[in-house]
Homo-oligomer: A and B are copies of this chain.
């Protein structure tokens, strides 16, 4: 089914600003779902609060727009209750790693079969441009008028350190990778994380004196490189793209079947 059949057309043009990267993520995500041939009724999309989280309003699945930072906790309830559903959780960088950091690391730890997509624009877009745990030092933001001193998380490392079994990263510039990694993430049996560098021209761009959205996409093009590439060795400042973690580990809902079995025996026995 064409990608556009997955969207709720009546809400278009969407709420996002001109040039906002979140729309590109939406496209890539739907491309992945389309290629996987998922039925609309089998997909539940769960989000928190933020510009990025508004994404669920635009897709014609079961959609759950929850609380800031809590999407993965809601999603855990959905998935653990109905493991046969495909649960996809698009999140903002603030949503995923600031207020939602704890749910993020615990989802990584538990290895429930869901896909978290971190739409990382390195800023709180929805609330008007405060720095996020992914902004990094030196970035200007409304709450960092003298530039930020906060170190940033590396989501890949955070997810890895928390035990995630699939972790990938790319940028909206690399839109085919977006589709590809999300597809692989959904196919992965276990918890998967895809970080997608995205742009907020309205706040991140303006505050940091970036000329326009194209300058932001050029940045993604010029400052990233496939993981393990020679380029990275030559220039350690490059950000790596690719699949960083991909391991098989028994999935949580599957493991719970063992609990049910043990418990049922106890009752009978």
Asked whether, in the complex, the Cβ of B106 is within 8 Å of the Cβ of A149, the reply is: no
A110 close to B (CB within 8 Å): yes
Q: For residue A107, give the distance in angstroms from its CB to the closest CB of chain B.
A: 11
What residue of chain B has the Cβ atom nearest to residue A252's Cβ?
A: B149
Asked whether, in the complex, the Cβ of B133 is within 8 Å of the Cβ of A151, the reply is: no
Interface flags for A216-253 (1: CB within 8 Å of B; 0: not) read 00000000000000000000000000000000010010
A212 close to B (CB within 8 Å): no
CA of A38 to CA of B106 in the docked complex: distance in angstroms? 37
- A262 in complex: contacting residue of B101, B102, B146, CB < 8 Å: B146
A258 close to B (CB within 8 Å): yes
Q: For residue A124, give the distance in angstroms from its CB to the closest CB of chain B.
A: 15
A26 close to B (CB within 8 Å): no
What residue of chain B has the Cβ atom nearest to residue A263's Cβ?
A: B146
A83 close to B (CB within 8 Å): no
CA of A102 to CA of B96 in the docked complex: distance in angstroms? 11
- A102 in complex: contacting residue of B101, B111, B161, B266, CB < 8 Å: B101
Asked whether, in the complex, the Cβ of A158 is within 8 Å of the Cβ of B151, the reply is: no
For chain A residues 160-176, which have a beta carbon within 8 Å of chain B?
160-163
